[in-house]
Amino acid sequence: MNVTAPLIEVEKLEAWYGRRRILNGVDFAVNPGEIRVIMGGSGSGKSTLLRHLLGLHKPRSGTVRLLGVDIARASERQMLDVRRQIGVSFQGGALLTSLSVGDNVALPLREHTNLDEATIRIMSRLKLEVVNLGGFQDLMPAQLSGGMIKRTALARAIAMDPKLLFFDEPSAGLDPVVSAELDELILRLRDALRMTIVVVTHELESAFKIADTITVLDQGDILMTGTVDAVRHSDNERIQDLLNRRPREIQVDADAYLKRLTEEAA
Amino acid sequence: MPRALHDMNALIRPLESLGRATIGSLAGMGYAAVLLGESLYFSVAGWRIGQPLRPRAVAEQMRQIGVDALPIVVLLALTIGIMLGIQFIAALSAFGAQSQVVVAVAKSVTREFGALITAILVAGRSGSALAARIGSMSVSQEVDALATMGIEPVRYLAAPALLAMLVMLPALTIFADAVAIGGAALYSSPALNITPSAYVMQTLSLLEPGDVWQGIAKSAVFAVLITLIGVSTGFSVAGGAEGVGRATTRAVVLSICWIIVVDMIFSYFLNR
Amino acid sequence: MSDSENACISEDLGGYVLVRVCGEVDLSWSQQVRDAILAALGNGGVGVELALVTYIDSSGIAALVEGFQTARGKGKRFGVIAASRAVLAVLQLARLDKVFPMFADVDAARAA
Ligand SMILES: Nc1ncnc2c1ncn2[C@@H]1O[C@H](COP(=O)(O)OP(=O)(O)OP(=O)(O)O)[C@@H](O)[C@H]1O
Ligand SMILES: [Mg+2]
C-alpha cells in the first residue's frame, strides 16, 4: 500500500434505518497521521457514520474502505486483519462488565497475540498508566466513575497500538479538567504512537484544539471538510449556526403541521 | 373515514399482525439456524481463521450450566421419582399389577421425565441467563465492542455456551435418571416388599440401553434448542433494560414450549 | 519500512553487554528484542542502545520494562542509552523516562 494513501475512504455512502435515509451519499477520506473530528448537530448521523466506518453495518450503497480494504467485500481473514489495526472507544465505554479493568485492556492482546503473560501484563498496565489509571487494574467496571470508564475504554482501544483510533464523544459528561487531559492525550498518542485518529464530538472547544481537519455533518449531508480555520471562517449558514450555538429557524407548513397532529397514521 | 372501510380495517388489522408475527417467528428460526451453523463452524474451524474457541470459556459455561445446577436437579429428580412411585403403585395396584411398578418407573423416567425435567430446569436457569447476559451486552454496546476488536461475538459468547450445553444437559439427564429411580426405590420398595437395592437391581435388569439413549438423544436436542433460543433472543434485544427483561422472559417461555412440543414429536416417532 | 533495517545486536564489552536495536520495533519481532535483553542479563549489566529506532510500540517498551525489572531482581545494572526522539516520545507518554536510567551515549553510561 502506498504510504500516503488514505487510511479511510468512503464513497457515496448511503445509510438507512428502515425506510428513513440517514446518510445521503457521503464522501469522506482520512489520511495517515491526521486527526479528524466529525462534528454535527444531534441526529445529524455522526454515530451512524461511525458505525459504518467500523463495519458494524453494511452500507446500503456506496463503499467504505479501511486501510485499503473494502469492508463490504472483505473476507473474514481480511476483516480480522483490519480490525487488529483499529481501536475503538465507544461513547458509553462498552467495557465487558464481567472482566476487571486489567482484563478488559488485556483482552485484545490475549485474543490476538501469542505474547507471554508477563509481556501482556506489562503492556496492558502500561496503557492504564498512559490514561492515568495506573494501579486500578483490579477494579470491576461497575466500580468506576464515568470518566474512569471512558479512560479505561481508551486504554483498551490502544492496547494493540492501532494504526487507526476511533473515539466517540471523548469529552461528553466529563469535567473540564479531565476532558482537557483527554484532548492532550489524543494529541500525544498521534505524535508518539503515530496513530491516525477519528473523533466524534459535540464540544467545539475540544474539536478546535485537537483537530487537523473537521468534517461537518448536517442531516445526513457533509456540509464541508476542511482545516480548523476554514471551518471557523466558513460562510455556510448552518455551520455558523452550529459554531455560534444559534437555534435553527424551523419552517412551519400549516397543512403538514395539522396533518401531523391530527391524522391517525401520520 | 367511510364505515365500510373502517370495518375492513378492523378485519385486516388482526390478520396483518398475525402475518407479521409469522414472518417474525420464521425470521427468528432462520436467525437461530444461522447461529447454530456459525457456532459449530467456530467450534470446529475457528482456530484456522484466528477465532479459536477458548477451552476456559467452555469450562466456565460448563460450570455455570452443569455443576451449579446439580443441587436443584437432585432435589427435583428425587421428588419426581417419589411422585412416580406413588402414582404407579396407586394405579397399578388397582389392577393387581403391582409388580409392574418397577418397569413402569424405569421406562418413564429414562425415556421421558429425566430429560424433560432437566431440560425445563436448565431452560429456566441457563436459557434465561444467556438471554439476559447477551441482551444486556447488546444494549450496552459490548457486543459491538467485541466485533470491532476482531472478536466474533458468536464465537466468544454463543459457541462456548452451545458446547457446554451439549455436554452438560445429557450429563445432567443421566444423573437425574439415576436420582429419580433412587427416589422411586426409596418410596416403593416397602410397598413392594423388597429392599431398595433389590429394586435398583431389578431396574437395571429391566432397562434396555435404548431406553437411556432415547432420553440422552432428546436432551441433546433440548440443549441446542435452549442455547439457540437464549442466544438469539439475547442478540436481538432492542430497547434498553426493559427489552432485556422481556427477552429473558421470552427466552424461557419459548424454550419450554419448544421443549415440550419437540419432546412429544420425538416420543411419537421413537415409540411407534 | 523494510524488515532488513530491523536488527538487534548484542556486543559484550567486558562486564556489561550493549544491545543495539535498530529499525521499527513492533509486535512482529519485539519478542526477539526481549529475548536478547533477557539473555544479555545473564552476563552482567545491560545497556540498550536505541539511537536508530524510528518507531517502538508498547510490546517493545514492555521488553525494556521486563529487562529493567529482571536486572533489578538480579542486582544487575540496566540503562537505556541514546533513546531516539521516537522512543523518547513513547517513554514520556507512559512517564517511563522518569523510571529508566537514561544515558545520552555509551560513554555516559560507562561513566555512571
Ligand atoms: N437503531 C436505530 N434505528 C432507527 N433509527 C435510528 C437508529 N439509530 C439512529 N437512528 C436515527 O438516525 C438518525 C441519526 O442518528 P445518529 O445516532 O447517527 O445521530 P448523531 O449525529 O450521532 O446524534 P447525537 O449527536 O445526538 O449522538 C437519527 O434521526 C436517529 O433517529
Ligand atoms: Mg451519536
**Shortest CA gap C100–chain A (Å):** 14
**Is residue A39 classed as helix, strand or coil in its secondary structure?**
strand
C-alpha distance from residue B140 to each of A93, A127, A211, B7, B133 (Å): 8, 23, 28, 44, 11
Among B18-22, B208-212, B213-217, C22-26, the minimum mean pLDDT is found in B18-22
Question: In this complex, is the C-beta atom of A111 within 8 Å of any C-beta atom belonging to chain B?
Answer: yes
Specify the pLDDT at position B3. 63
Q: Decide if pLDDT at C50 tops 70.
A: yes
Quick: pLDDT tens for B148-174.
999 999 999 999 999 999 999 999 999
What value does the mean pLDDT of chain C take?
86
- Per-residue pLDDT, A262: 87
Distance A131 CA to ligand 2 centre (A): 23
- Model confidence at B262, pLDDT cuts 50, 70, 90, reads very high
What span, in angstroms and rounded, lies between the C-alpha atoms of A25 and A28? 10
For A67-114, the pLDDT digits (tens) are 999 998 988 889 999 999 999 999 889 999 999 999 999 999 999 998
* pLDDT (tens digit per residue) in A143-178: 998 889 999 999 999 999 999 999 998 887 788 888
Residues of B with Cβ-Cβ distance to A97 under 8 angstroms: 136-137, 140, 142
Residue A163 has what pLDDT?
92
Average pLDDT over residues B68-75: 96
- Is A47 a pocket residue for ligand 1 (Cβ < 6 Å)? yes
Q: What DSSP state is assigned to residue A144? A: S
pLDDT at C76 over 70: yes
First-to-last alpha carbon distance for chain B, in angstroms, is: 58
The single-letter code of the amino acid at A35 is I
Per DSSP, helices labelled H in chain A are 46-53, 76-84, 101-112, 117-130, 146-157, 176-193, 204-210, 228-232, 237-243, 254-262
Residue B14 domain-assigned (yes or no) = no
Residue C2 pLDDT > 50: no
CB contact under 8 A, A97 and B141: no
CB contact under 8 A, A126 and C61: yes
Residue A50, pLDDT above cutoff 80? yes
At A242 the pLDDT is 81
- Residue B165's domain spans which residues? 53-270
CA–CA distance, B109 with B219 (Å, rounded to integer): 13
Quick one: average pLDDT of A223-236? 90
Within a domain: residue B223?
Answer: yes
Cβ separation A161–C93 shorter than 8 A: no
Q: Which residues surround ligand 2, an ion (CB under 5 A)?
A: A 47
* Contact between A55 and A66 (Cβ < 8 Å): yes
The DSSP element (H or E) to which C99 belongs, if any, is none
Mean pLDDT of C52-67: 91
**A126 and C63 in contact by Cβ < 8 A?**
no
Strand order in the sheet with A196-200: A86-89, A164-168, A196-200, A35-40, A213-218, A221-227
If you average pLDDT over residues A230-248, what whole number do you get?
83
| C80 touches A180 (CB < 8 A) | no
> Which chain A residue lies closest to C90 (C-alpha atoms)?
A192
- Residue C90 CB contacts under 8 Å (≥ 6 apart), including other chains: A192, A193, C56, C57, C58, C61
Name the residue of A26, A38, A48 whose CB sits within 8 Å of the most ligand 1 atoms, as the mutation to test its pocket. Answer: A48
Tell me the shortest Cα–Cα distance from A15 to chain B, in angstroms: 18
Determine A/B contact with 3+ CB pairs under 8 A as the test: yes
For residue A119, give the nearest of C1, C62, C95 by CB distance. C62
Q: Which residues pair with C53 in a beta bridge?
A: C23
What's the domain count of chain B? 1
**Residues near C109 by Cβ (< 8 Å), separated by ≥ 6?**
C47, C79, C81, C103
As a whole number of angstroms, the distance between CA B114 and CA B103 comes to 15
- Cα separations in angstroms, A257 against A172, A251, A265: 34, 10, 14
Rounded mean pLDDT, C25-49:
87
- Coil, helix or strand for C10? strand
Minimal C-alpha gap between C18 and chain A (Å): 22
Whether the Cβ atoms of residue A39 and residue A214 lie closer than 8 Å to each other: yes
**Who has greater pLDDT, B250 or B94?**
B250
Residue A45, ligand 1, Cβ within 6 A: yes
Asked if B55 is an interface residue toward chain A (Cβ–Cβ < 8 A), one would say no
Phi first, then psi: give them for residue C19, nearest 5 degrees.
Answer: -100, 115
Average pLDDT over residues B240-261: 93
Residue B25: its H or E element: helix B3-45
User: Is position B230 within any domain?
Assistant: yes
Nine-digit cell string for C106: 555509551
CA C36 – CA C17 distance, rounded (Å): 10
pLDDT in tens, B107-118: 999 999 999 999
Strands (E), B29-177: none
Cβ(A176) – ligand 1 distance below 6 Å = no
pLDDT beyond 60 at C15? yes
Enter the C-alpha cell of residue B57.
470459556
DSSP letter at A133? -
pLDDT higher than threshold 60 for residue A3: no
Instruction: Return d(Cα A15, Cα A25) in angstroms, integer.
Output: 8
Query: Does residue B164 sit within a domain?
Result: yes
How high is the pLDDT of residue A173? 75
- Ligand 1 center to B157 CA (angstroms): 27
Residue C1, pLDDT > 50, answer no
Q: Are strands C16-25 and A61-66 parallel, antiparallel or unpaired?
A: unpaired
For chain B, give the percent of residues with pLDDT over 90: 72
ipTM of the prediction = 0.89
CATH superfamily of A1-32+40-85+202-266: P-loop containing nucleotide triphosphate hydrolases (3.40.50.300)
The mean pLDDT of B180-199, rounded to a whole number, is 92
Contact: C58, A161; criterion CB under 8 Å: yes
pTM over 0.90: no
- Looking at residue B198, what is its pLDDT? 92
Residue in chain A closest to B142 (alpha carbons) equals: A94
The confidence score (pLDDT) of residue A264 equals 79
The residue with greater pLDDT, A77 or C111, is A77
pLDDT at B46: 86
Nearest CA to ligand 1 atom 16: A45
The whole-angstrom separation of Cα C42 and Cα C74 is: 9
Question: Is-contact A15 A52, C-beta < 8 A?
Answer: yes
Q: Is C74 left (phi over 0), alpha (psi -120 to 50) or beta?
A: alpha
Distance A26 CA to ligand 1 centre (A): 16
The pLDDT assigned to C64 comes to: 93
What's the mean pLDDT when you consider all of chain B?
91
Look at residue C4 and tell me whether its pLDDT is greater than 60. no
Of all protein residues, whose CA lies closest to atom 28 belonging to ligand 1? A43
Report the alpha-carbon distance of residue B191 to residue B86 in Å, rounded: 10
- Give, for ligand 1, the residue of A44, A49, A202, A218 to mutate: max count of ligand atoms closer than 8 Å to Cβ: A44
Inspect the structure and tell me whether chains A and C have 3 or more CB pairs less than 8 Å apart. Answer: yes
* Average of per-residue pLDDT across A190-204: 90
What is the set of domains in chain C, with CATH numbers?
7-111 (3.30.750.24)
Cα–Cα distance between C109 and C112 in angstroms, integer?
Answer: 5
Smallest CA-to-CA distance from A131 within A95, A98, A99 is with A95
- Percent of all residues in chain B with a pLDDT value above 70, rounded to a whole number: 97
A40 lines ligand 1 (CB under 6 A): yes
CA gyration radius for chain B?
A: 23
A32: number of Cβ within 10 Å: 18
